């Protein structure tokens, strides 16, 4: 809805006595966002409407659920599997009933209206082309298509790494399908903290480190192999900055996990459009990306790869105990 706020340009018109209408006629514009994953048991898409009625206040309207959501009879949302030519109307649901709460902000948070179907209704598979259609009485349909991504297969690292050599990067590699083009790479460190003076405070701690949240490989192979390098010194630097020094705590490093998330071409196209309009020569306005014809929004696909329980070898554990970044954290 932010894109529909009316911007009032200075009118330097001398001796002008004409009256101006500063708000356009009502126009119903659907807004839709969805990240579909073929591995999910249930699929969700957010569909709203964006308009500013005459005399209205966009900020106030955004906080009223009836202003931003279509009523039960006002819109029909259909998801179609173009491989099987089967289509299903998505149910209008309250995301709160599925543990999906909307974050606080300008927009109304409750109810959190979404459109949903169970995967068994369409039997979506990786590589399928899907089409979303939003229909409203007397209005043009809004339509978007995307390709469902293949799940990621993480190939390295193996079960144990040797991170003590700062000059040797940690190689993270995975196999992706042909339609994945942009990736988030995350490491999750699993640490136990012990309180000798009060064992009731003993706890497990997880540190999540997003190493890169928009990695676009230059050399993704035709077989879908992607290679990403992590500076090993930065691993210790991150842990050293994430944990507080406390003589009352004794720590033990258990292992770490690797999580890679893949996004489709729509995500990359949107990022490139936004990046093209930054800097001192930009217009300072956020460009609007959409792959929803007849509306605004982005319907795309995502997939994930996960490998857990990766160990540091003895030298890596020794660097935690004695290295320059973590030696004051009482790793044992």
Q: Which residue has the tokens 């974050």?
A: 103
**Cβ(31)–Cβ(115) below 8 Å:** no
**Report field, pTM of the whole predicted structure over 0.95:** no
Average pLDDT over the chain, rounded to an integer: 85
At residue 154, the pLDDT reads: 96
CATH class given for the domain over 27-147: mainly beta
Given a contact cutoff of 8 angstroms between Cβ atoms, the answer to whether 250 and 193 are in contact is yes
b or e along 211-228 (b: 16 or more beta carbons within 10 Å of the residue's beta carbon)? beeeeeeeebeeebebeb
pLDDT tens per residue across span 192-241: 999 999 999 999 999 999 999 899 988 666 568 899 999 999 999 999 99
How would you write the pLDDT of the chain (332 residues) with one tens digit per residue?
333 332 222 222 223 444 434 344 557 889 999 999 999 999 999 999 875 555 554 554 544 555 678 999 999 999 999 999 999 999 999 999 999 877 665 455 678 899 999 999 998 999 999 999 999 999 999 999 999 999 999 999 999 999 988 989 999 999 998 899 999 999 999 999 999 999 999 999 999 999 998 999 886 665 688 999 999 999 999 999 999 999 999 999 999 999 999 999 999 998 888 776 555 444 455 557 899 999 999 999 999 999 999 999 999 999 999 999 999 999 99
- Domain boundaries of the chain, sorted by first residue: 27-147, 153-265+304-329
- Asked if 171 and 156 count as a contact pair (C-beta separation under 8 A), the reply is yes
Neighbours of 327 (CB within 10 A): 14
Backbone angles phi, psi at 265, to 5 degrees: -60, -30
Q: Contact, 308 vs 48, CB < 8 A?
A: no
> What's the pLDDT tens digit per position in 89-131?
999 999 999 998 776 654 556 788 999 999 999 989 999 999 9
Task: Provide the pLDDT for residue 6.
Answer: 28
Strand order in the sheet with 129-135: 86-89, 76-81, 129-135, 142-147
At residue 213, the pLDDT reads 87
Q: What's the CA gap between 89 and 77, in Å, rounded?
A: 6
Closest CA to 82 of 145, 130, 34: 130
Of 12, 124, 137, 6, the C-alpha closest to 75 is: 137
Q: Using the CB atoms, write b or e for 232-257: b if 16+ within 10 Å.
A: bbebbebbbeebeeeeebbbebeebb
Which residues are CB-contacts of 74 (< 8 A; sequence separation ≥ 6)? 136, 137
The pairing of strands 113-118 and 91-94 is antiparallel
Q: Where are the beta strands (DSSP E) in 73-128?
A: 76-81, 86-89, 91-94, 113-118
What distance in Å separates the CA atoms of residue 263 and residue 149, rounded to the nearest whole number?
8
pLDDT at 4: 31
Helix (H) or strand (E) holding 135: strand 129-135
């Amino acid at each position: 809805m932010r894109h529909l706020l009316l911007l009032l340009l200075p009118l330097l018109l001398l001796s002008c006595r004409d009256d101006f209408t500063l708000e356009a006629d009502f126009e119903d514009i659907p807004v839709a966002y969805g990240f579909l994953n073929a591995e999910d048991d249930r699929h969700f898409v957010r569909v709203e409407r964006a308009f500013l009625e005459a005399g209205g206040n966009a900020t106030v309207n955004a906080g009223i659920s009836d202003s931003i959501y279509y009523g039960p009879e006002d819109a029909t949302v259909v998801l179609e599997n173009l491989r099987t030519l089967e289509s299903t109307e998505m149910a209008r649901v309250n995301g709160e009933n599925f543990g999906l709460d909307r974050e606080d902000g300008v927009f109304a948070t409750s109810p959190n209206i979404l459109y949903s179907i169970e995967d068994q209704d369409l039997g979506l598979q990786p590589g399928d082309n899907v089409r979303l259609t939003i229909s409203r009485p007397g209005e043009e349909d809004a339509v978007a298509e995307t390709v469902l991504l293949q799940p990621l297969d993480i190939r390295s690292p193996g079960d144990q790494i040797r991170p003590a050599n700062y000059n040797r990067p940690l190689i993270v590699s995975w196999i992706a399908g042909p339609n994945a083009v942009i990736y988030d790479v995350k490491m999750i460190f699993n640490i136990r903290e012990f309180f000798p003076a009060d064992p009731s405070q003993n706890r497990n701690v997880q540190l999540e480190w997003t190493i890169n949240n928009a990695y676009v490989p230059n050399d993704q192979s035709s077989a879908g192999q992607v290679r990403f390098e992590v500076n090993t010194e930065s691993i210790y630097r991150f842990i050293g900055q994430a944990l507080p020094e406390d003589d009352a705590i004794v720590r033990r490093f258990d292992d770490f996990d690797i999580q890679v998330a893949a996004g489709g071409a729509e995500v990359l196209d949107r990022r490139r459009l936004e990046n093209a309009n930054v800097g001192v020569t930009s217009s300072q306005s956020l460009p609007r990306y959409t792959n929803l014809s007849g509306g605004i929004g982005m319907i795309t696909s995502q997939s994930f790869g996960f490998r857990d329980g990766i160990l540091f070898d003895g030298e890596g554990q020794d660097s935690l105990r004695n290295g320059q970044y973590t030696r004051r954290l009482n790793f044992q």
